[in-house]
Structure 1
Amino acid sequence: MTLDLLSVLIISSVVVNVSGIVFIVETLLRRDDGAGRVWALGFLAAMLTTLTYVLWARSGTELWALAAGNATFVTATGCMWLGCRRFNGRRIRRDGLLVVLGAGGAAVAVLVEGFPAGDWAGAVWMFLALTVFSAAAAAECLRGLLGATRSAWVLAVVFALQCGFYIARTVAFLLAGPESALFQVAFGSIALSFGTVTLTVVAVVILSVLRATRVPLVDQSRTTLSDIARDGIVSDAVFTGMWTALCVRARQQGATLAIVAVRIDDLGQMTTAFGADVTGLVIDEWRRGVAASVPVGAIIGEDSRAGLLVGCVVDDARGAREAATAVYRGVFDRLGAATHGIIPVVGVGVADSSVVGYEPHDLVEAARETALTAATRVDAAVISFEPRDAAQA
């Protein structure tokens, strides 16, 4: 059976678009505002890539379609990497600029080389950008929270295979040329399309599983007045306002502030092993454990990336650590009594104004970083933020 390029591109386009639509719709239904939203943007870029490549394959005269296809291809892989970094609780704004530069360079390279280069205009730039971003994504899957999740190891293999393929493709392109039999059979557009279909299916399944670990937290974030009265936990927007006001007053009066970040992870694996009812019970008891173990004057808010944030006034740095330790013990005591020993991975990190200062955002980010570290280590119950290294218990 002989397959022509246009037919293969159409088949690949159908698979990628269906997978992308499913992931994007699920993102909207779950109201995912974290890593899932960045991954959804990557799938949207992949969908645009297939459509522009089909347009180029049909016409061969719409150079802008090839430029747009190469740019969105780089964007898709770049967003996969950014989503992984966001999942691990890392900042992505500066890294997003690298993705924009990579995608822009891919488009400009096509326009510079123009029609004489044909289908392979700007190919080398695109290959190199895809190699870098896929390698970065594979590395990100093996660190932080992703590194502690076995599902992410499969995703790391997917990105590593993509990286290896583009390294080999670049070498074959430069040494043998795009018209050589070696390149056409092993690294041509038809071979790439079949690889894309396989990796897309695997990626959408793994990313959906990873995102499911955050869904219960996202569902809990739609806080109403009755919810606040029930467990004393406010929405992230309300917490931001209250926390900022508290930081201003503390700075004026010279008081010491502590911010405690509490993470709860492995919810996806817990749902698979014990069912959604058990996972829901764990989440409820975890929230009650945090609320019951903090000082009366503390404010507790939702945090889409770290679970819950607790802000309070303390006497000194030692008092901040004691508050975080009380939260850790309260959560585990509550979970142990209510769930009969079914304990998820919990990370507790604390930062105080004597070390970080009174900038609200800096305090929150410092607490998130330490909670992320605590959630991925077995030798630390509570970690306090320090300028260089974290002190652990």
Structure 2
Amino acid sequence: MTIDAFTVNMLVAIVTMTAGTLYLLETMLRREVGPGRVWALGFLSGMLTVVAYLLWQGTADPWVAIAIGNAALVSTLGCFWLGCRSFNAHRVRPAGAVVGAVAIVQLVVTLAAGPDGGDWAGAVLLFFGVAVFAGLASVESRRAGMGAIWSSLGFTIVFAFVAAYYFVRAIVLWVEGPEGSLFTTWFNSSITGIVSIVLTIVALTTATMLRTGRVTVRQDAEHATLQVTPAGVLSAPSFETAVGSVLSRARGEEASCAVASVRMDDLAQIGVAFGTVEEESIATQWHTGIRRYAPVFALVGDGDEASVLIAWQPASPGDARRVAGRIQRRLLDDFAERGSAVIPAVGVGIAFSDDVGYDPGALIDAAQDAARRSSTSPDASVIVAEAGDDRAAPIRG
């Protein structure tokens, strides 16, 4: 049985509209920021694509609808790539400018063909653009924090397939034209519609799973569930669980471990004074800087809404103090080089298992308390928590 192109487009439209509406509603209910918001733009572009292509099938002079649909389609894949970059805390604006430029070029090229351009006006450029952005999204989904999450394999596989399919489709169309036997048999609109349906379903499922930030790690005899935030660090409960596992082994070896808290209490005030965009930008730079400057094999996770925690095994207490001081200085230097209107205060506190003990909760609480003292001290010095009570020793420089 052969399904005509209009029927296939109707099926694609139903699936895309349903998936897009569900994702957009969830995005609004969750008040999503970061990658979820960018992926929502991708679904919106996909919805615009199917509407434009339905107009193409249903009108006598569809060249404007074709141009809009082509530009929206390349934007859809571009937005999914941008969402993956945002998830990994990579720069989005320059890449976004590239996506916008490609979409505009696609629109202009298709419109330039005019009414006589036919159904495949600008199609070769479109297919190459889709292939490139899908390939970039597939590669980005295996990088940084996103690559550590098993559910991102859905993006990796489906975008790799889409990239390969559209690349070959572009070559075939370029070589033999839209009337060629190979193109009409294996790369026609019906088969492409099936590819689009699969892409939409996998994209909806994977994007929904990714923004929960959940990753399951299978071990030999047990299952441990860790939660990784979109910033690429462990959630607070997951961090405490992971630190507890490390400390239980360190206790048996009588090894010294350290937990540092890097605190920025005025982030909310920055959002009120300068807007949420500035607040999100500083928060992203904060998380990125801590991940970059923390020891290589350190655990990095959220503490509370104003702190990020680092756990590692230092060579000595003095080495831990130097590491904490270096992180603080480099973060402040990065904020200064950024040229923003405000440089937030960064407090750092350290707690050692030799002083506080091997209980993860107590060690984290001690580091947090020391960081609070640091953030409110006149010189924002690094403070080391001491055993017992409220005492803490400041470290200069």
- Which bin holds the TM-score, normalised by the shorter protein? 0.5 to 0.7
Residues 350 and 127 of structure 1: is their aligned pair in 2 closer, same or farther, counting only changes over 3 Å? farther
Counterpart mapping for 1:46-85 below 5 A: 46-85=46-85
Partner of 1:99: 99
Residues 110 and 329 of structure 1: is their aligned pair in 2 closer, same or farther, counting only changes over 3 Å? closer
Q: What is the aligned residue count?
A: 280
Partner of 1:314: none
What secondary structure, in the 3-state scheme, does the structure 2 residue paired with 1:80 have?
A: helix
- Please list the CA deviations of residues 100-126 of structure 1 after superposition, one character each: whole Å capped at 9, or x if unmatched: 111111111111122223110011111
Which of 210, 218, 237 is matched with 1:282 structurally?
237
- The answer to whether 1:26 aligns with 2:26 is yes
Residues 328 and 22 of structure 1: is their aligned pair in 2 closer, same or farther, counting only changes over 3 Å? closer
What secondary structure, in the 3-state scheme, does the structure 2 residue paired with 1:352 have?
A: helix
- C-alpha separation between the residues in 2 aligned to 1:200 and 1:52? 17
Contact 2:67 2:107 (C-alpha < 8 Å) held by counterparts: yes
Contact 1:135 1:159 (C-alpha < 8 Å) held by counterparts: yes
- C-alpha separation between the residues in 1 aligned to 2:62 and 2:302? 63
- C-alpha separation between the residues in 1 aligned to 2:195 and 2:29? 29
Letter of the 1:186 partner, please give it.
W
Q: What is the Cα deviation at residue 361 of structure 1? A: 6.2
Letter of the 1:57 partner, please give it.
Q
Partner of 2:265: 299
- C-alpha separation between the residues in 1 aligned to 2:135 and 2:202? 17
Partner of 1:225: none
Q: What is the Cα deviation at residue 180 of structure 1? A: 1.6
Q: What is the Cα deviation at residue 162 of structure 1? A: 0.7
Tell me the TM-score normalized by structure 1: 0.62
Partner of 2:40: 40
Residues 7 and 364 of structure 1: is their aligned pair in 2 closer, same or farther, counting only changes over 3 Å? farther
Higher fraction of helix: 1
Partner of 1:6: 6
- C-alpha separation between the residues in 1 aligned to 2:37 and 2:106? 24
Partner of 1:250: none
- C-alpha separation between the residues in 2 aligned to 1:113 and 1:67? 10
Partner of 2:330: 352
Partner of 2:190: 190
- C-alpha separation between the residues in 1 aligned to 2:171 and 2:301? 53
What secondary structure, in the 3-state scheme, does the structure 1 residue paired with 2:2 have?
A: coil
Contact 2:88 2:144 (C-alpha < 8 Å) held by counterparts: yes
Contact 2:63 2:119 (C-alpha < 8 Å) held by counterparts: no
- C-alpha separation between the residues in 2 aligned to 1:284 and 1:357? 26
Partner of 1:146: 146
Contact 2:130 2:163 (C-alpha < 8 Å) held by counterparts: yes
Residues 361 and 41 of structure 1: is their aligned pair in 2 closer, same or farther, counting only changes over 3 Å? farther
Contact 2:46 2:73 (C-alpha < 8 Å) held by counterparts: yes
Contact 1:115 1:121 (C-alpha < 8 Å) held by counterparts: no
Letter of the 2:13 partner, please give it.
S
Q: What is the Cα deviation at residue 268 of structure 1? A: 4.8
Letter of the 1:165 partner, please give it.
Y
Contact 1:293 1:327 (C-alpha < 8 Å) held by counterparts: no
Partner of 1:371: none
Partner of 1:161: 161
Q: What is the Cα deviation at residue 284 of structure 1? A: 10
Letter of the 1:119 partner, please give it.
D
- C-alpha separation between the residues in 1 aligned to 2:302 and 2:235? 20
**Residue identity (%):** 32
Give the root-mean-square deviation of aligned CA atoms.
3.9
Residues 201 and 350 of structure 1: is their aligned pair in 2 closer, same or farther, counting only changes over 3 Å? farther
Contact 2:9 2:50 (C-alpha < 8 Å) held by counterparts: yes
Residue ranges of structure 1 left out of the alignment (5+ in a row): 214-266, 311-319, 334-347, 368-393
* Higher alpha-carbon Rg: 2
- Please list the CA deviations of residues 207-251 of structure 1 after superposition, one character each: whole Å capped at 9, or x if unmatched: 1100111xxxxxxxxxxxxxxxxxxxxxxxxxxxxxxxxxxxxxx
Tell me the TM-score normalized by structure 2: 0.61
Partner of 2:172: 172
Residues 21 and 182 of structure 1: is their aligned pair in 2 closer, same or farther, counting only changes over 3 Å? same
